[in-house]
Structure 1
Amino acid sequence: MTAPPVRCAVVGTGLIAHSHARAIAAQDGRARLVAAVEVDEARLAAFTEDWPVSHAGSSLGSALASGEIDLVIVCTQPSSHVPLAVEALAAGVNVLVEKPPAVSLADFDVLARAASASAGEAFVVSQHRFGSAARQLRRLAGDGVLGRPLVARCETTWYRDEAYFAVPWRGSFEVEGGGPTIGHGVHQTDLMLSVLGPWAEVTAMAGRQSRPTRTEDVSCAVVRFENGALATVTNSVVPPREASALRFDWEHATVELHHLYGYGDDNWQFTAAAGREDLAARWATGLDGERSGHAAQLRVVLDALASGATPPVTLADARLTLEVVAAVYASAFTGRPVRRGEIVPGDPFYTRMDGTGAPWRDEGIPA
């Protein structure tokens, strides 16, 4: 007997909501978009013209009261992610939260407590984990055939002009949580962590080089992992030539990814060490052509919901990523290394990503 489709609601109908709507439509009838919630009437009207729904309005509570929603997808500005997710969880409804899931570790832990008390589950959008090449890389790394992980490089060098920061809620620690470290580079950082596992220590620097923002527009970090691997992480929104890149060097192979906002199998390059050419063939056998993206993650979420398993990406997974982001800010703004587990209640960087304050906080926004 075919299971009924998972009934989905999107909250916030900006650009990313359209990506989720397309992902829902790509699930061969296993999911259906039934509700859209948006406080901007014109934006809501434009969205529902493209994606007709049975419930459209400005209140998530009203949509939840219909009893016809199985999964809420939160696509609003970052500071509203946790309150909306908590509202869905209070109604016992599963919730999928866009990244960053919270603007601070304290904010995130509110979400985690709400999830532990709910019949629903909360998980986080991490679409780059789900392309076939990333899945194959984690399999090979987990099997140990690549040898020890040694060095990695993680780069998010995107371009956002001054018009981008003219949107009132952008460029603030209060609403966005920070700059490219949390809002842009978090995608690549999250993929790196999904491959290399728990991190141990971060040393970082950050700066506001040219954009009219209260946050950083560049950060650079060195991350040491529990398994001994060292990684450099660069996040920036100032370079005219945009790129997203990852490189992993194991004892027996180098694996590289070059793309921008999403990848396919052909964006990856696998180089085996001399004498280990067998690994290249093994790499190729695990590629099935699935691109990274929201549709790839939603497919796995639907599989988990149908089987009663815990959908990916769990809150524990997401917190590991958010904590390394907090550590980058803490290290950059205090000038000292930060270890995992060090940012706890009572630490200023637990409640705000800018913690004790950005070094340029009294300089005003550049003209």
Structure 2
Amino acid sequence: MPARTHLSAIVGTGAIANAHASALRAAGDRARLVAVVDIDADRARAFAGEHGVPGVYPSLAALLAEEAVDVVHLCTPPRQHASLAIECLDAGVTVLVEKPPALSLAEMDELVAAERRSSAHVATVFQHRFGAAAVRLRRLTAAGRLGRPLLATCATLWYRDDDYFAVPWRGSWDSEGGGPTMGHGIHQFDLLLSVLGPWREIRALAARQARAVHTEDVSMALVTFASGAVATVVNSVVSPRQTSALRFDFERATVEVEHLYGYTDADWTVTPAPGHEDVLSWWGDAEPGSPSSHEGQVMAVLDALDRGDPPPVTGADARNTIEFVAALYASAFTDETIHSGQITAEHPFYRRMDGTGAPWAEVAAR
């Protein structure tokens, strides 16, 4: 039996909230969804009815005033993430926030500061870190079983039509903080960063190819890591044949995954370098495990809370990923190589991801 049942609430009852509700239900007695929040009362009541939730509230403040919850799941549009997460932390409530946790490095630093002064924690939903195959890959990499990482490719090639961007908060720097770099590819390159470790520098470009938005709809980057590994990262919402793909070339093996919105063990392949066929036994010795999912991350969060540890993905982990996004935009819009740690409080890309302005800003504004 679990040490405790974690009382949980969901703020924002849009589509992604269903994944959180399902994950909480899968946790059994370890978690109980006791309340939902949405400014749309009808939608909140419908969601509560569908998922058997007793409490319905019009605001996070009302929820925190009435319910003694342990974990809040933030599923609102991105613009509200940081402010609502800070509200939870200031109330001493741990918060699991959908990506991106903040729209700028400045907001991310405010969120990390709020966590430091709180008894509670903040974690970001990057569920691709929690599939069994990704966990296995990080363990083998850390143990040196695959040799040095040499080269990686990371591609998030998705398709979003004009109707998708008709939602008022989409395609805007003010409400999303960016285009596919911030809102779509971030899952894939967060997994890339979790495997390859600290990045050192980035050279990038971004373009507005086909969508009538203020943000980019395509970005590309060349990345050098502290280990010496190099990688390409491509993010798109204009690619009719959709795929999400990662490839890692180590000294002793190539490890690849191709999927769309979530992977299983079957989506991964391992190709040993000549003379290193033992890699296959190290990879294959593990029992087939869980896919990448909200369920996997929620279970990891509950495990950490039961131990009294900060839940994954920590504020520091998420900050590294958000800094990578800021650096990509800074490089793309200034035509400069950006180094890790370069974007400080005085840098124009610290407070806004579009920094000095996207090259197409005047055209998009017309």
Quick one: which amino acid aligns to residue 137 of structure 2?
L
CA shift at 1:365, angstroms? 5.6
Partner of 1:207: 207
Aligned pairs (5 A) from 1:323-338: 323-338=323-338
Runs of 4+, deviation exceeding 6 Å: none
TM-score (norm 2): 0.98
Q: Is the 8 A contact 1:7 1:69 kept in 2?
A: yes
CA shift at 1:4, angstroms? 3.0
Partner of 1:50: 50
The C-alpha deviation readout for 1:64-101, integer Å capped at 9, x for no partner, is 12242000111111110011001111110101111000
CA shift at 1:2, angstroms? 4.4
Partner of 2:62: 62
Quick one: which amino acid aligns to residue 175 of structure 1?
S
CA distance in 2, matches of 1:53, 1:64: 16
Partner of 2:115: 115
CA shift at 1:270, angstroms? 0.6
Partner of 2:298: 298
Partner of 2:23: 23
Partner of 2:258: 258
Residue 34 (structure 2) pairs with residue 34 (structure 1): yes
Aligned residue-pair number: 366
CA shift at 1:63, angstroms? 1.1
Partner of 2:95: 95
Q: Is the 8 A contact 2:2 2:30 kept in 1?
A: no
CA shift at 1:57, angstroms? 1.5
CA distance in 2, matches of 1:321, 1:9: 26
Q: Is the 8 A contact 1:133 1:286 kept in 2?
A: no
Q: Is the 8 A contact 2:223 2:230 kept in 1?
A: yes
Partner of 2:155: 155
TM-score (norm 1): 0.98
Q: CA RMSD in A?
A: 1.1
Partner of 1:281: 281
Q: Is the 8 A contact 1:105 1:322 kept in 2?
A: yes
CA distance in 1, matches of 2:313, 2:156: 21
CA distance in 2, matches of 1:268, 1:331: 32
Partner SS, residue 240 of structure 1: strand
CA distance in 2, matches of 1:362, 1:2: 56
CA shift at 1:253, angstroms? 0.3
Partner of 2:129: 129
CA distance in 2, matches of 1:200, 1:271: 28
Partner of 1:79: 79
CA distance in 1, matches of 2:101, 2:327: 16
CA shift at 1:169, angstroms? 0.6
Residue 9 (structure 2) pairs with residue 9 (structure 1): yes
Q: Which runs of 5+ in 1 are unaligned?
A: none
The C-alpha deviation readout for 1:171-215, integer Å capped at 9, x for no partner, is 110110000000000000100000000000000000000001000
The C-alpha deviation readout for 1:8-50, integer Å capped at 9, x for no partner, is 1111000100000000001122111111000012321221121
CA distance in 1, matches of 2:68, 2:5: 11
CA shift at 1:287, angstroms? 4.2
The C-alpha deviation readout for 1:120-166, integer Å capped at 9, x for no partner, is 11111110000000000001000001111000000000100000100
Deviates most, 27-36 or 351-360: 27-36
